[in-house]
């Protein structure tokens, strides 16, 4: 910085000075003579202050942008630019703040002073230093110079804090006492809060020793605060796992909070009381950090034993409810299916001696839990007999579960009858209860048991013998109390001899055998059954009243009824549908003409006028079946069997072979 020196004064002759009058004016002149010296001193002092200031200062020309002068502090501050006042542009000091620099300069020129904190200054490591720039513009004729001073805001903040601290100290002992009381009140409030907290709270230092304990923690742990403070908390209350295994300190989540500097939440551990008992807890361990150093941790925990017991009880109740709900849903679905499939009549109907014998057998065996094997041709009412036995038993309050052994594929039979667990095989998307479990406390009706695969009979035998089974895919054995009623139209004794049915299972099922007599041997029951079916059909189909005539009854009684009661029901229902003018029209195989003539000659069958009686018709059917068996080489079932040739079910053919003793 170039400063101007005052012009030299001309020397005045000594004599002139002697002659000068000593007046006040002369004194002023003497002072005026000393003024140039004083201004130089002032200029030097200002220059030194500028240069020695610890705050960075510099002068620059706003028109050219040249730095005119800078003190040492500015050169040190702007360390990247050496020789700051020599050919240095002010733009070089703020390369990233051209807009803010322009506004700052214009404000200083227009207003004479300016302040800004928008000009960024970087430290040697690249961090932004909070700086405030203040500027004063100095104008002389047509020239303008701007003086800039940089104030470090962090240093200003420190000085402010130090000044406040000094002021605080100067306020004296009363202020200290007042603040001490203030902190005591805060501490007391914290103690009240800790004391009122329902959760247990304790703190540990970095070495694992207890630092504080609230009253709730004392109550739950059984320790007093002085018994734990200063002692390793892990060794006192967290030393073993729930199953009794030792809990190593290195695996403790509370101490891991020190190493990981993170909050750890745990909900499946136990704390140990002073008396040696444990209780389930859930806790949160939070590290305490001071000046970026971990100094300890605070643990907030609660006793969840009661809640876990309630949760377990609730879970067990929900599982039980779910099982009961599933069972009820399946029972409901099954019963709905049974309602659709069961016969229209709910009682054994008839007046024949054979039916009375059957009813007596039902009444005899129903009160017991003995297994019942019901035999008879298809359509003779074997399922109806099973229902009658169940309804007359002590198990009538539980369902009668029906399993059609012939209708279930062998690969699905085990899952259907025993149930399965989720994932036990492809498609097992959820647990499924089996028919045995569904019938627990009730009766299980195995229809067409003679059609059961020989491999599945062994699995069925175990349940029949022991009352135990396992669901598919499950190792747990389940116990059931089930009464078994089986039905078949096959001769199981002959099947045992042919190794088609297990002998041990046969004897287990055949404890009390009941044989359903075919309808042709119960001719006296036909009118009663026909009347019953007619009433049901009229009600079901919403038809006008119809009645059976003597001719209708005679026609029905003279028919052989190979389909038994089921065929009779179908015939009556079909007749009710096609009847007109309240006249019942029967449509029986072979026509509805009265059977009044007889012949035993096979040649006369070609005559359309030939009429056979019941015995002749039976003989003809026997001969016809024998011819069919001979034509098929003795084969009954299959595409080339006699049953297919006759258009009959294989079970019906087997039944008639047995009944007629055909070889």
Q: What average pLDDT does range 579-602 have in this prediction?
A: 56
Q: What average pLDDT does range 24-49 have in this prediction?
A: 58
With respect to residue 239, please indicate whether it lies within any of the assigned structural domains. yes
> From residue 89, how far is each of 20, 63, 93, 581 by CA, in Å?
56, 11, 8, 125
pLDDT-derived band at 307, boundaries 50, 70, 90: confident
Rounded CA separation 652/561 (Å): 12
Residues 45 and 149 in one domain: yes
Closest CA to 533 of 509, 561, 505, 510: 561
Question: Which pLDDT belongs to residue 9?
Answer: 43
Q: What average pLDDT does range 469-482 have in this prediction?
A: 85
pLDDT, tens digit (0-9, with 9 covering 90-100), for 52-66? 888 899 888 898 888
- Distance from CA of residue 405 to its chain's centroid? 38
With respect to residue 567, please indicate whether it lies within any of the assigned structural domains. no
In terms of DSSP bridges, do strands 443-447 and 400-404 run parallel, antiparallel, or are they unpaired? parallel
Rounded CA separation 489/623 (Å): 22
With respect to residue 495, please indicate whether it lies within any of the assigned structural domains. yes
Residues 119 and 199 in one domain: no
| Contact between 558 and 614 (Cβ < 8 Å) | yes
Residues forming a β-bridge with 549: none
Per-residue three-class SS string for 571-620: HHHHHHHHCECCECCCCCCCCCCCCCCCCCCCHHHHCCCCCCCHHHHHHH
- Would you state the structure tokens that stand for residue 88, as one six-digit string? 């240095």
With respect to residue 478, please indicate whether it lies within any of the assigned structural domains. yes
| Contact between 556 and 526 (Cβ < 8 Å) | yes
Residues 353 and 453 in one domain: yes
pLDDT-derived band at 347, boundaries 50, 70, 90: low
- Would you state the structure tokens that stand for residue 12, as one six-digit string? 């005045």
Residues 204 and 113 in one domain: no
pLDDT-derived band at 389, boundaries 50, 70, 90: very high
Question: Which pLDDT belongs to residue 204?
Answer: 86
pLDDT, tens digit (0-9, with 9 covering 90-100), for 105-142? 999 989 989 999 888 887 777 788 889 999 999 887 77
Element (H, E) at 299: strand 293-303
> From residue 375, how far is each of 56, 386, 486 by CA, in Å?
118, 11, 9
pLDDT-derived band at 341, boundaries 50, 70, 90: very low
Question: Which pLDDT belongs to residue 134?
Answer: 92
Question: Model's pTM, two decimal places?
Answer: 0.44
Range of 36-50, 71-85, 180-194, 553-567 with top mean pLDDT? 553-567
Which of 39-43, 127-131, 142-146, 172-176 is predicted with the least confidence, judged by mean pLDDT?
172-176
Residues 234 and 93 in one domain: no
Which of 286-300, 576-590, 599-613, 618-632 is predicted with the least confidence, judged by mean pLDDT?
599-613
Structural domain ending residue among the three candidates 490, 517, 544:
517
Q: What average pLDDT does range 157-165 have in this prediction?
A: 85
With respect to residue 55, please indicate whether it lies within any of the assigned structural domains. yes
Structural domain boundaries, residue 81: 35-156
In terms of DSSP bridges, do strands 113-116 and 131-140 run parallel, antiparallel, or are they unpaired? antiparallel
Number of domains in the chain: 4
CB atoms within 10 A of CB 425: 12
Q: What average pLDDT does range 515-542 have in this prediction?
A: 89
Question: Which pLDDT belongs to residue 7?
Answer: 42
**Strand ranges (DSSP E) for 304-385?**
372-376
Question: Which pLDDT belongs to residue 26?
Answer: 44
The angle formed by the CA atoms of residues 187, 190 and 193, to the nearest 5 degrees, is 155
For CA atoms 519, 524, 529, 530, the dihedral sign is positive
Rounded CA separation 175/169 (Å): 8
With respect to residue 555, please indicate whether it lies within any of the assigned structural domains. no
pLDDT higher than 70, residue 74: yes
Rounded CA separation 35/41 (Å): 10
pLDDT higher than 90, residue 245: no
Comparison of pLDDT for 341 and 543, the residue scoring more: 543
Residues 291 and 354 in one domain: no
Range of 154-168, 263-277, 376-390 with top mean pLDDT? 376-390
Residues 139 and 232 in one domain: no
pLDDT higher than 70, residue 344: no
Rounded CA separation 164/168 (Å): 6
pLDDT, tens digit (0-9, with 9 covering 90-100), for 623-658? 888 888 888 888 888 877 888 878 788 888 888 887
Q: 231: exposed, middle or buried (C-beta count within 10 Å: 0-12, 13-18, 19+)?
A: middle
Structural domain ending residue among the three candidates 156, 189, 207:
156
Question: Which pLDDT belongs to residue 336?
Answer: 56
For 296, half-sphere exposure in the C-beta direction (CA atoms, 13 angstrom radius) is 14
Residues 512 and 384 in one domain: yes
Question: Which pLDDT belongs to residue 32?
Answer: 46
Residues 187 and 150 in one domain: no
Q: What average pLDDT does range 340-360 have in this prediction?
A: 71
With respect to residue 332, please indicate whether it lies within any of the assigned structural domains. no
pLDDT, tens digit (0-9, with 9 covering 90-100), for 405-420? 888 888 888 888 888 8
Which of 98-107, 210-219, 586-595 is predicted with the least confidence, judged by mean pLDDT?
586-595
Closest CA to 399 of 516, 485, 322: 485
pLDDT higher than 90, residue 304: no
Structural domain ending residue among the three candidates 156, 172, 195:
156
Closest CA to 401 of 321, 327, 504, 506: 327
Question: Which pLDDT belongs to residue 84?
Answer: 66
- Would you state the structure tokens that stand for residue 464, as one six-digit string? 């029949």
pLDDT higher than 60, residue 484: yes
SS3 content of the chain, % helix, strand, coil (to 5): 45, 20, 35
Domain CATH for 412 = 3.40.50.300
Rounded CA separation 19/434 (Å): 144
Question: Which pLDDT belongs to residue 608?
Answer: 46
With respect to residue 59, please indicate whether it lies within any of the assigned structural domains. yes
pLDDT, tens digit (0-9, with 9 covering 90-100), for 174-204? 665 666 665 666 666 666 666 656 688 888 8
In the chain, the percentage of residues whose pLDDT exceeds 90 is 11
Question: Which pLDDT belongs to residue 609?
Answer: 46
Question: What residue has token string 């110079």?
Answer: 145
Residues 282 and 200 in one domain: yes
Residues 358 and 496 in one domain: yes
Residues 371 and 489 in one domain: yes
Q: What average pLDDT does range 158-183 have in this prediction?
A: 71
Q: What average pLDDT does range 542-559 have in this prediction?
A: 86
The mean of the pLDDT values for the chain is 79
In the chain, the percentage of residues whose pLDDT exceeds 70 is 81
pLDDT-derived band at 157, boundaries 50, 70, 90: confident
């Amino acid at each position: 910085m170039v400063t101007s020196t005052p012009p030299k004064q001309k020397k005045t002759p000594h004599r002139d000075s002697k002659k000068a009058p000593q007046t006040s004016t002369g004194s002023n002149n003497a002072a005026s003579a000393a003024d140039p010296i004083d201004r130089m001193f002032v200029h030097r002092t200002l220059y030194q202050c500028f240069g020695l200031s610890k705050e960075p200062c510099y002068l620059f020309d706003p028109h050219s942008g040249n730095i005119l002068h800078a003190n040492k502090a500015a050169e040190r501050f702007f360390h990247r630019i050496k020789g700051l006042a020599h050919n240095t542009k002010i733009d070089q000091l703020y390369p990233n703040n051209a807009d803010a620099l322009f506004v700052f300069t214009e404000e200083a020129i227009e207003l004479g002073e300016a302040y800004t904190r928008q000009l960024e200054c970087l430290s040697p490591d690249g961090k932004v230093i909070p700086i405030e720039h203040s500027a004063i513009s100095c104008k002389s004729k047509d020239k303008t110079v701007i003086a800039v001073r940089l104030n470090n805001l962090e240093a200003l903040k420190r000085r402010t804090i130090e000044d406040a601290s000094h002021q605080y100290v100067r306020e004296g002992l009363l202020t200290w006492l007042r603040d001490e009381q203030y902190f005591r009140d805060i501490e007391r409030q914290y103690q009240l809060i800790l004391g009122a907290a329902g959760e247990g709270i304790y703190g540990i230092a970095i070495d694992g020793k207890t630092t504080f304990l609230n009253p709730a923690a004392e109550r739950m742990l059984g320790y007093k605060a002085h018994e734990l403070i200063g002692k390793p908390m892990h060794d006192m209350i967290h030393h073993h796992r729930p199953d009794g295994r030792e809990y190593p300190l290195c695996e403790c989540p509370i101490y891991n909070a020190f190493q990981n500097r993170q909050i750890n939440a745990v909900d499946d551990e136990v704390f140990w009381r002073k008396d040696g008992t444990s209780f389930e807890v859930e806790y949160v361990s939070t590290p305490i950090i001071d000046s970026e150093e971990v100094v300890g941790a605070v643990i907030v925990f609660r006793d969840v034993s009661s809640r876990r017991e309630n949760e377990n009880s609730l879970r067990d109740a929900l599982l039980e409810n779910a099982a009961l709900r599933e069972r009820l849903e399946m029972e409901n679905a099954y019963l709905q299916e049974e309602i659709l499939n069961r016969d229209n009549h709910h009682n054994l109907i008839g007046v024949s001696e054979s039916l009375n014998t059957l009813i007596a057998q039902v009444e005899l065996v129903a009160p017991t839990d003995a297994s019942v094997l019901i035999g008879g041709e298809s359509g003779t009412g074997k399922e109806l007999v099973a229902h009658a036995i169940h309804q007359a038993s002590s198990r009538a309050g539980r369902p009668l579960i029906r399993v059609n052994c012939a209708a279930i594929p062998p690969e699905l039979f085990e899952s259907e009858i025993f149930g399965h667990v989720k994932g036990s095989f492809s498609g097992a998307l959820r647990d499924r209860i089996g028919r045995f479990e569904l019938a627990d406390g009730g009766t299980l009706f195995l229809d067409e048991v003679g059609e059961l695969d020989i491999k599945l009979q062994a699995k069925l035998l175990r349940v029949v013998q022991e009352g135990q089974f396992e669901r598919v895919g499950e190792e747990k054995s389940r116990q059931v109390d089930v009464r078994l009623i089986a039905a078949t139209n096959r001769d199981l004794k002959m099947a045992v001899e042919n190794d088609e049915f297990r002998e041990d299972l046969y004897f287990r099922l055949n404890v009390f055998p009941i044989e359903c007599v075919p309808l042709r041997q119960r001719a006296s029951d036909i009118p009663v059954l026909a009347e019953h079916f007619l009433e049901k059909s009229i009600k079901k189909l919403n038809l006008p009243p119809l009645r059976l005539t003597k001719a209708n009854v005679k026609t029905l009684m003279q028919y052989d009824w190979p389909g038994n009661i089921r065929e009779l029901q179908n015939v009556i229902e079909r007749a009710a549908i096609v009847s007109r003018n309240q006249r019942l029209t029967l449509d029986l195989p072979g026509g509805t003409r009265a059977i009044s003539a007889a012949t035993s000659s096979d040649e006369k069958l070609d005559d359309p006028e030939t009429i056979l009686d019941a015995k002749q018709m039976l003989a003809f059917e026997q001969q016809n079946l024998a011819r069919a068996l001979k034509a098929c080489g003795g084969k009954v079932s299959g595409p080339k069997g006699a049953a297919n040739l006759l258009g009959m079910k294989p079970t019906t053919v087997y039944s008639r072979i047995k009944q007629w003793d055909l070889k």
